[in-house]
Amino acid sequence: MSTYRVSGKGRVDHNRPVRFTFNGENFEGRQGDTLASALLANGVHLIGRSFKYHRPRGFLSAGSEEPNALVGVNRGVGRAEPNTRATVLEIFDGLNTVSQNHWPSLKRDVGAINDPLYMLFSAGFYYKTFMWPKSFWNKVYEPIIRGAAGLGKSPAVPDPDTYASRYAHCDVLVVGSGPAGLVAALEAGKSGAKVILVDESPEFGGSLLGEPDAEINHLSAWDWLLETNAALAAMKNVTLLNRTTAIGYYHQNFVGLCQRLTDHLSELPDGAPRERLWKVRAKQVVLAQGSIEKPLVFDGNDRPGVMLAGSARVYLNRYGVKVGNLPVVVTSHDSAWLAAFDMAQAGAKVAAIVDIRARVPNYFVKRARALGIETLCGWTISGTKGRHRVTSVRVNPVSAGGHVGPARTIACDALLMSGGWTPSVHLFSHTKGKLDWNDERQMFLPGARTEDSRCAGAGNGKFGLEESLMEGASAGAAAAIDAGFSASAGSYSVEGEVLCIGASNRELPSDGSASWAKAFVDFQNDVTAKDIRLAVREGFKSIEHIKRYTTTGMATDQGKTSNMNGLSIASDAVKRPSPSVGLTTFRPPYTPTTFGAFAGYNRGDLFEVTRKTAIDSWAEEKGAVYEPVSLWRRAWYFSKQGEDMHQAVARECRATRQSLGMFDASTLGKIEIVGPDAAEFMNRMYTNAWTKLAPGRLRYGLLLGEDGFIRDDGVIGRLSTDRFHVTTTTGGAARVLAMMEDYLQTEWPDLKVWLTSTTEQWAVIALNGPNARKLIEPLVEGIDLANEAFPHMSVAEGRICGVPTRLFRVSFTGELGFEVNVPARYGRAVWEALYDAGRKYGITPYGTETMHVLRAEKGYIIVGQDTDGTVTPEDASLAWAIGKTKPDFVGKRSLTRPDMLMADRKQLVGLLTSDPKTVLEEGAQIVLDPNQKVPMKMVGHVTSSYWSETLGRSIALAIVEGGRAKEGQTVHVPMPDKTHSAEIVGMVFVDPENKRLNV
Amino acid sequence: MLQERHPLKGHRISLAEGVSLVIHDAEDSSRFNLRIAPENLGAASKAFGCELLATIGATATSGGRLALCLGPDEWQLYAPLAESRSIETTFAALYASCPHSLVDVGHREIGIAVEGAAAVLALRSACAFDFDTMPSGTGTRTIFDKAQIILIRHDENRFRIEVWRSFADHVWGLLQAASREIALGI
Amino acid sequence: MLLIRCPYCETERPEVEFVYAGEAHVARPVDPAALTDDEWKNFLFIRSNARGTHFERWRHMHGCGRFFNAVRDTVSDQFAMTYKAGMPRPTENEIKEARS
């Protein structure tokens, strides 16, 4: 084993080796390792190349804030995930990982040519450079830039995993299981409140996992952790969610949690979802998100082996891994000294502790000396060396006056840095909670809250363990009390705690040239201190503009390690204090989240509801081709013996016109309108007059919006004086019912009438063709079907094939037609019975395409296809459907607005192409003069266009400016192949006298 | 008489021992949507032979019939299949003195029974409301993933979903997915 | 997802059960024919588009089915109160009280 693993140390299981690969090389780690800790244990620091300059990069941190160490994980076909942070990726046997953003290999990368060309790639480089020639952008520059940039490769095949979601409600949600979060959950749990505790890590404990030496309530930190976790696990009212990230905090304490269920397992359980998105509504929220360490900004601070000091401490104490045998520590914060001490005690030779501050508390200096560590206080760091891992650092003394003295080089194999700690206020910021600037501590702290939430612990600026525990306890108890429970916070004491403080910095002083320094602020987007100052010099003063121009903080880590350094440099450059420069906005998700988690169950068959009629299964058996119509899938056409769509539709049309066709019309919306005021209500809603419609009769109804435009239409039957059976378009069913309810509830609550959706109560079979009556006559009981007794536009209740029916005599084809309504669960059986009985007439099932053709031949419109929300009854030649004597109906007043009366309004007309074989494209534009210059003046468009088998030629409907007055004129339709000419004609192509209907 | 087809006929999810969750197609019943002014509730209760409560969400049962108040003037009535005609006849007689709307929606909906100690967990996969606010013996219209349903809680661990027939497959598919997780204990 | 109190159900329910239905207290004129084109245009198209306190309609579509009114702050997205359709517009004091 390597010299970097410290046996017996940490929380990994030293007796359980785990084998994995990185870039094809075999490695061994320990159960409990992350990829980062396992690689570090093997002495691997080089983990990837940076985004812009392709600079070699190592692990900066040990947590989810990691900007550098992004890897690809390959778990087989479709399970290739890019950009996974190696610092949180749990290893398992067989894990296969690769580094990213390099070619041909991690150690030899051609893109690294960008690094020496550094001066070219300054802030705004892309904006400035690729301006000319303009035509090059789409074809040359952008593809190359896009190819060169990007982090990792996305998988090329669909994700085979499934994802889950779950709603939860609780009294207290605690985010973060560090000392503050743990005791908050404990205190709230003790009160009996329903508590959910979440942490992104596999283990609860947060910072305590890296601090085994602390003593809480006279127990060692890890014993106390064991006891506390056991106490929490024993509470039935507490839900513990590890491997779960609180990704977003929304209104009214609604918090999104992403739980990783299987990513850490070497064997995936069959059918197990990979992740689950929890949608939690909490009465009270306690945010104990902890804090994130700041890097220091100096030339070469991104070299592999340069790492946050606190993270090095976590690798040592939690994972049992020394990140180096000869580390140097550079810091402006006491806490890094503790990292140096721990490293030394674990056997590392700490070459030096360099502190930017001239004065450091005596306690630390003494202890360093006792351990034989050289201390350089009031020194700076001006550079690092080493190709794929740091080999030495360049440090200089700084005089009281700020003069940087001559450099000294110290050899090392790791550099641990600390610029202090930033409270994690991300979730608090999601709620638009105010952040207050603390000038003395140079940090933003949570201020006035907008939700029922509390911040506790390091995330609230309480960096001391005892103060953090105390605040967590009182926050947990207070949250429980506010949620309606009685609680009192217990007491927590920490023995011999050393409080750490520090100073804040911008770029560190250096004896080198600032313009050549590669002092990184944002490691993931490769933004340097120089870039930020350049942006300010070029006139960007607002932090939001500086951010977008330099892209600092805009990478997938959202600037967790870089925002504060970026802000203090920007505020220095614009010469305004930090709070007035302000922070950019933190937005959900807290860490990158898979699309799968957001989609949850809604993929594949469950992506969206697929509504199927009662007859759908029959159509499927007969090989129907489907088309989606709103949420329904509908049979489009029935292909027989290898027919293409054109042949199938032609056959279906011929059969229907010549003998008998059958069509599943079940998806039509249906509304039952019942009550003494039913007719009055109909009068007010629809344009037509209803009072005189006799029971047993049907009428075509036209529904407008209050703006006078056509919203819906349908055939409406009066079953009795007080009962109407309304049909709507398939897509309009829910909308029309909602509109009717709106008027009824809010405008006319005095009307005694009620509405019920019966769309799904009835299956509807449309029978059309000269033989339609002959087919059903022997099957119908209780209704006289003779033309005189049951003429066109009649409705009656009776039985068909022995089951109850509402039989409509109505036609959407122009042929003798019936619509057989039967209770839905009889739909298929009645359909089959009619099909069997119809064989002697060559009965032909047809789909929506044939329905469309047949209705277009008759000039019947489809709302939403031939109308688009700007079409009036007059425009659609439907003025006859307006009850002229009615004082009012929805939309009536608008019909006399000046705009509605203009002569050049677009009107629906028929079109016949000069070449009868040409079928125009639906949506094609119409022009009057085909020889005019592009862009041409468009006077309308084709709304419906088909091959009419009945006429042996094409037909079309179109909407044309002043169309009706242009009847007989020729218009032109430019299409990709050529410009076609067509004559404007009336809308009815077949049987304008309705002779075929009334038989 | 022709054969009826239920979309979920014979469907059943029953988890292995250790986890209590059974989901199956519920026994069919007749269903009516009743709309009536609240002041006529007394007459309607009499006609239905089961009290119609005025509190939204409240249910009352009597002799195999169940009335659920869905809105201020809306009740969903359930009764054994065979009683459908007689219910229509009784209400028709009431119409002249107490105008109302009684609409047969028996074929509009499909019943799904969700039962067992894990029932709430299964439902929470797709229902956004707080089940702690739903006492036994109440019902509510709500959203299950993307489908509108009526949910009735007979007791702590016994629910019935009523869903429009064309949405039933979607609801079933989701319940299947949720059951798999529960079976795996994940 | 918001929680919305339905004044008919008298409980808070998740937003997915509701649909938004435009500005409140825009009553349809009793006799539209009596309105000038301008007045009718104002009724049809002109809305307050408030920044801050907004009176609006919602419907408990997938619940009790009722339309009702709400006072919501369009900046913070917070509901101050909801009330049944047909009730008068709450006064400033009533809204203030509801918020506190």
- Domain CATH number, residue A765: 3.30.1360.120
Residue ending a domain, choose from A418, A447, A470: A418
For residue A265, how many other CB atoms are within 10 A of its CB? 11
In-domain check, residue A999: no
What tokens does A360 get? 């450091």
Q: What 8-state DSSP symbol labels residue A509?
A: P
Average pLDDT over residues A647-674: 98
Higher local confidence (pLDDT), A723 or A580: A723
Question: Is the CB of residue A80 less than 8 Å from the CB of residue A55?
Answer: no
Q: What 8-state DSSP symbol labels residue B26?
A: P
What tokens does A27 get? 């490695």
Query: From CA B71, how far away is CA A951, in angstroms rounded?
Result: 54
**pLDDT tens figures, B122-140:** 999 999 999 999 999 999 9
What residues form DSSP beta bridges with A258? A245, A277
- Domain CATH number, residue A269: 3.50.50.60
CA distance C14 to chain A (A): 10
Residue A656: predicted pLDDT: 98
**pLDDT tens figures, A216-251:** 999 999 999 999 999 999 999 999 999 999 999 999
pLDDT of A125 higher than 80: no
Q: Do A165 and B125 touch (CB under 8 A)?
A: yes
User: DSSP assignment of A961-984, as one string?
Assistant: ETGGGGTT-EEEEE-SS-EEEEEE
Q: In this structure, are A356 and A376 located in the same domain?
A: yes
pLDDT band at residue B16 using 50, 70 and 90 as cut-offs: confident
Q: Give yes or no for a cis peptide into A17 (omega within 30° of 0).
A: no
pLDDT band at residue A124 using 50, 70 and 90 as cut-offs: low
Query: From CA A792, how far away is CA A998, in angstroms rounded?
Result: 6
In-domain check, residue A871: no
Average pLDDT over residues A455-482: 98
Q: Do B5 and A760 touch (CB under 8 A)?
A: no
Question: Is the CB of residue C68 less than 8 Å from the CB of residue C86?
Answer: no
Q: In this structure, are A520 and A438 located in the same domain?
A: no
Q: Which of C6, C17, C84 to mutate to test the interface with B (most CBs of B within 10 A)?
A: C17
- Find the closest chain B residue to A832 by CA distance: B2
Q: In this structure, are A167 and A120 located in the same domain?
A: no
Chain-centroid distance of CA A415 in Å reads 39
In-domain check, residue A491: no
Q: In this structure, are A130 and A67 located in the same domain?
A: yes
- Closest to C62 (Cβ–Cβ): which among B57, B133, B143? B143
Tell the residue number behind the tokens 């029953």, with chain if given: B14
- Residues of C at the A interface (Cβ-Cβ below 8 Å)? 1-3, 14, 19, 21, 27-28, 31-33, 35, 37, 40-41, 44, 57, 59, 61, 65-67, 76-78, 85-86
**pLDDT tens figures, A966-979:** 999 999 999 999 99
Q: Do C1 and A250 touch (CB under 8 A)?
A: yes
Q: Chain A contacts of C65, Cβ < 8 Å?
A: 741
User: DSSP assignment of A524-586, as one string?
Assistant: TTTEEHHHHHHHHHTT--SHHHHHHHH-TT-STTTTTTTHHHHHHHHHHHHTS-HHHH-PPPP
Question: Is the CB of residue A50 less than 8 Å from the CB of residue A505?
Answer: no
Question: Is the CB of residue A167 less than 8 Å from the CB of residue B128?
Answer: yes
In-domain check, residue A640: no
**pLDDT tens figures, A261-306:** 999 999 999 999 999 999 999 999 999 999 999 999 999 999 999 9
Q: What 8-state DSSP symbol labels residue A743?
A: I
What tokens does B111 get? 């019943």
Residue ending a domain, choose from A574, A594, A613: A574
Residue A100: predicted pLDDT: 85
Q: Chain A contacts of C28, Cβ < 8 Å?
A: 706, 743, 747
**pLDDT tens figures, A769-793:** 999 999 999 999 999 999 999 999 9
* CATH class of segment(s) C3-26+45-99: alpha beta
What residues form DSSP beta bridges with A863? none
The ipTM (two decimal places) reads 0.98
Q: Chain A contacts of B128, Cβ < 8 Å?
A: 167, 279
Q: In this structure, are A410 and A338 located in the same domain?
A: yes
Q: Chain B contacts of C8, Cβ < 8 Å?
A: 56, 71-72
Q: In this structure, are A262 and A336 located in the same domain?
A: no
CA distance C37 to chain B (A): 38
Residue A516: predicted pLDDT: 83
Question: Is the CB of residue A844 less than 8 Å from the CB of residue A662?
Answer: yes
Query: From CA A512, how far away is CA A395, in angstroms rounded?
Result: 11
Q: What would you report as the CA-atom Rg of chain A, rounded to the nearest whole angstrom?
A: 38
Q: In this structure, are A219 and A330 located in the same domain?
A: no
Q: Do C85 and A742 touch (CB under 8 A)?
A: no
Q: Do A897 and C37 touch (CB under 8 A)?
A: yes
Residue ending a domain, choose from A418, A437, A453: A418
What residues form DSSP beta bridges with A806? A797, A821
Q: Please state, rounded to an integer, the average pLDDT across all residues of chain A.
A: 94
Query: From CA A830, how far away is CA C66, in angstroms rounded?
Result: 37
CA dist list (Å): A839 to A406, A842, A845, A931: 103, 5, 11, 54
**pLDDT tens figures, A432-454:** 999 999 999 999 999 999 999 99
Closest by CA position to A560, among listed A62, A206, A58, A49? A62
Q: What would you report as the CA-atom Rg of chain B, rounded to the nearest whole angstrom?
A: 17
**pLDDT tens figures, A563-594:** 999 999 999 999 998 888 888 788 999 999 99
In-domain check, residue A875: no
Q: Do C37 and A898 touch (CB under 8 A)?
A: yes
pLDDT band at residue A78 using 50, 70 and 90 as cut-offs: confident
Residue A155: predicted pLDDT: 81
Q: Does B35 touch chain C (CB under 8 A)?
A: no
Q: Do A281 and C21 touch (CB under 8 A)?
A: no
**pLDDT tens figures, B84-101:** 999 999 999 999 999 999
Q: What angle do CA A260, A263, A265 make, to 5 degrees?
A: 120
- Closest to C67 (Cβ–Cβ): which among A281, A742, A888? A742
Q: In this structure, are A772 and A690 located in the same domain?
A: yes
* Domains of chain B as residue ranges with CATH: 12-27+108-184 (3.30.1360.120), 30-104 (3.30.70.1520)
In-domain check, residue A206: yes
Q: Return phi, psi of residue A462, to 5°.
A: -95, 90
Q: Which of A252, A432, A451, A756 to mutate to test the interface with C (most CBs of C within 10 A)?
A: A252
Q: Chain B contacts of A281, Cβ < 8 Å?
A: 130
In-domain check, residue A813: yes
pLDDT of C36 higher than 60: yes
pLDDT of A607 higher than 70: yes
Q: Does A750 touch chain C (CB under 8 A)?
A: no
Closest by CA position to A678, among listed A633, A719, A621? A719
Q: In this structure, are A687 and A816 located in the same domain?
A: yes
Number of helical (H) and strand (E) elements in chain C, helices listed first: 2, 6
Q: In this structure, are A810 and A680 located in the same domain?
A: yes
Domain that holds residue A533: 505-574
CA dist list (Å): A763 to A720, A760, A808, A850: 21, 7, 13, 20
Q: Does A756 touch chain C (CB under 8 A)?
A: no
CA dist list (Å): A51 to A65, A82, A247, A306, A899: 17, 14, 25, 18, 57
Q: Do C35 and A893 touch (CB under 8 A)?
A: yes
pLDDT of B17 higher than 80: no
- Domain CATH number, residue A967: 2.40.30.110
**pLDDT tens figures, A617-629:** 999 999 999 999 9
Average pLDDT over residues A863-874: 96
Strand, helix or coil for residue A769: coil
Q: In this structure, are A358 and A394 located in the same domain?
A: yes
**Start-end of H helices in B8-165:** 41-48, 84-95, 119-123
Q: Which of B53, B73, B127, B140 to mutate to test the interface with C (most CBs of C within 10 A)?
A: B140
pLDDT band at residue A51 using 50, 70 and 90 as cut-offs: confident
In-domain check, residue A980: yes
**pLDDT tens figures, C41-88:** 999 999 999 999 999 999 999 999 999 999 999 999 999 999 999 999
Q: Which of A254, A279, A709, A893 to mutate to test the interface with C (most CBs of C within 10 A)?
A: A893
**pLDDT tens figures, A167-221:** 999 999 999 999 999 999 999 999 999 999 999 999 999 999 999 999 999 999 9
Q: Does A131 touch chain B (CB under 8 A)?
A: no
Q: Chain C contacts of B74, Cβ < 8 Å?
A: 64-65
Residue B2: predicted pLDDT: 86
Residue A50: predicted pLDDT: 87
**pLDDT tens figures, A912-933:** 999 999 999 999 999 999 999 9
Q: Does B84 touch chain A (CB under 8 A)?
A: no
What tokens does B17 get? 């021992």
Work out how many domains chain A is built from and give that number.
Answer: 6
Contacts of A22 (CB under 8 A, 6+ apart): A35, A39, A44, A71, A97, A98, A99
pLDDT of A1 higher than 50: no
Burial A138-160 (b: 16+ CB within 10 A, else e): eeebeeeeeeeeebbeeeeeebe
Query: From CA A411, how far away is CA B152, in angstroms rounded?
Result: 73
Residue A136: predicted pLDDT: 63
Q: In this structure, are A980 and A966 located in the same domain?
A: yes
Average pLDDT over residues A120-125: 65
User: DSSP assignment of A405-465, as one string?
Assistant: ---EEEE-SEEEEE--EEE--HHHHHTT--EEEETTTTEEEE-S-SSSEEE-GGGGT--SH
Q: Return phi, psi of residue A215, to 5°.
A: -125, 120
Average pLDDT over residues A378-397: 96
Query: From CA B154, how far away is CA B160, in angstroms rounded?
Result: 8
Q: Chain C contacts of A254, Cβ < 8 Å?
A: 1, 3
Residue A578: predicted pLDDT: 86
Q: Does A265 touch chain B (CB under 8 A)?
A: no
Chain-centroid distance of CA A930 in Å reads 45
